[in-house]
Copies of this chain bind each other. A is one copy, B any other.
Amino acid sequence: MQSHQFFVKHGPYPFKEIIKAINCTIDYSHVEDFEIYGVESLVNAQENEVTFLNSGKYKDISLKTKAAVCITSLNLSKFLPDKCIKLKVRNVLLAVNQVSRMFYPGADADYPDLTVMDSNQFKKKYSKVNFGKNVLIGKNVQIGKGTYVGSNSIIESNVKIGENCIIGSFVIIKNSLIGNSVNLKDGSKIGIKGFGFIAAKKKNIRTPQIGKVILEDGVEIGSNCTIDRGSISDTIIGKNTFLDNHIHIAHNVRVGENCIMAAQVGISGSTTIGNNTVIGGQAGISGHLKIGNNVKIGGASGVTTDISDNCQVMGYPAVPLRDFVKMRRKK
């Protein structure tokens, strides 16, 4: 069970209470009631947890889930193990939303941590850390030796930061685990609530966001970037990956190692990006895509499909580079 340490988890709840919460009309009276301890992704869910499946894309991992219960649709339920109880609903995300709210009430909002205190209050604890002025630090924070934290920055409770990091000014870090030798430039916001919602005609509904941000060793994040915390799983930036300024990384994105992204790139939710990938400035990548290793994406491209290893793409929508050049010639 992955630890969502940044939120107090409620529960456990009886299975039949969960059925009631999602307005599931199927008769489960033959099933003996049991307790459910949390909501998790297909991969991370344990035998006493509920998970969800909302796309055929994930059938390989869904077939292996250990979850006791899975919220899914009629069509997708065949991609789940026999022993998993399938709760078939019309609107999977809405049902997941309702269950998540039971375990993590309040997690659809981005409450500021009011317990932070001036770093001068912790002189002994952080004697090997180099602080600027007016740095605010929450409870149960760890910061490794040799790390710099610039003036006016805020490290919220439960964040862990490794050694020899360089954190600029006006940075906020929350809901995050930061490796060693990570550089975060001025004004970046790490671990903020993701943009999770369910569109509804009268009033859109916010989705609880309970994942973390993990920045691995050697990562560099440019100025004024935003890295959203994961919704249920985590947002991860791999070792030695460098991001320029004004970059937006949405919830659940996983970027590989040693990648480079130029300024103003935007990556939509749940997309994964391989190692050694280079992304030109202002490029955008749609959600739930898989971008391979050693991929090169031209500046200002709009990527709307998966991209295999070693490909070069460009355009809006992005196509293989040689097709893009050919199309330009025809005009």
Contact = CB atoms under 8 A, between A and B. Distances in A.
A167 B112 CA distance: 8
Contacts of A281: 248, 266, 268, 284
Contact of A206 (B172, B220, B278): B220
A129 to B, nearest CB: 11
A276 B222 CA distance: 30
A149 B110 CA distance: 11
Interface stretch (A18-26, A57-65, A81-89, A192-200): A192-200
B316 A316 contact: yes
Contact of A195 (B118, B187, B197, B244): B244
Interface residues of A, number: 81
Interface string A177-219: 0000001011101001101010111111010000000000010
A302 B204 CA distance: 25
Given A276-B201, A281-B266, A246 B246 contact: yes
A54 interface: no
A260 B110 contact: no
A73 interface: no
B136 A263 contact: no
Given A110-B185, A154-B152, A226 B201 contact: no
Interface in A237-270: 240, 242, 244-246, 248, 250, 258, 260, 262-264, 266, 268
Contacts of A131: 114
A190 B5 CA distance: 32
B266 A264 contact: yes
A305 to B, nearest CB: 12
Contact of A192 (B185, B316, B328): B185
A71 B170 CA distance: 38
A113 interface: yes
A292 interface: no
A130 interface: yes
B245 A226 contact: yes
